[in-house]
Amino acid sequence: MTLMQMTRTHKIILSILSALVLLWAYIALDKRSNSGAQPLNIATTTDTNTVKTGEASVSGNVSGTGSYTIEQVDGSGVPQPIPDLNRPVRPLGSATVTTEAIVRATEKILPLQAELKKDPSNFSAWMNLALYQKMAGDYQGAVITWQYAGKLSPADYISVGNLGNLYGYFLKDNVKAESYFKLAISKAPTQASTYIQLAEFYWDVLKDLNKARNIVDQGLDAIPNNTNLLQLKATLQ
pLDDT tens readout for residues 24-71: 444 433 433 333 333 333 333 333 333 332 323 233 333 333 333 333
Within-domain flag for 4 = no
Within-domain flag for 141 = no
Within-domain flag for 152 = no
Within-domain flag for 190 = yes
- Count the domains in the chain: 1
Within-domain flag for 221 = yes
- 8 A C-beta contact, residue 139 and residue 62: yes
Give every CB contact of residue 147 below 8 A, 6+ residues apart in sequence: 58, 60, 68, 70, 159, 163
The whole-number average pLDDT for the span 122-134 is 98
Within-domain flag for 194 = yes
In whole angstroms, what is the distance from residue 138 CA to residue 157 CA?
22
Within-domain flag for 185 = yes
- 8 A C-beta contact, residue 153 and residue 140: no
Write out the residue range of the structural domain in which residue 186 sits.
174-237
Query: Sign of torsion, CA 44 102 68 122?
Result: negative
pLDDT tens readout for residues 154-193: 999 999 999 999 999 999 999 999 999 999 999 999 999 9
- 8 A C-beta contact, residue 91 and residue 53: no
Q: What is the CATH number of the domain that holds 211?
A: 1.25.40.10
pTM summary value: 0.70
In whole angstroms, what is the distance from residue 139 CA to residue 136 CA?
8
Give every CB contact of residue 188 below 8 A, 6+ residues apart in sequence: 157, 194
Within-domain flag for 159 = no
Give every CB contact of residue 116 below 8 A, 6+ residues apart in sequence: 82, 85, 122, 125, 126, 129
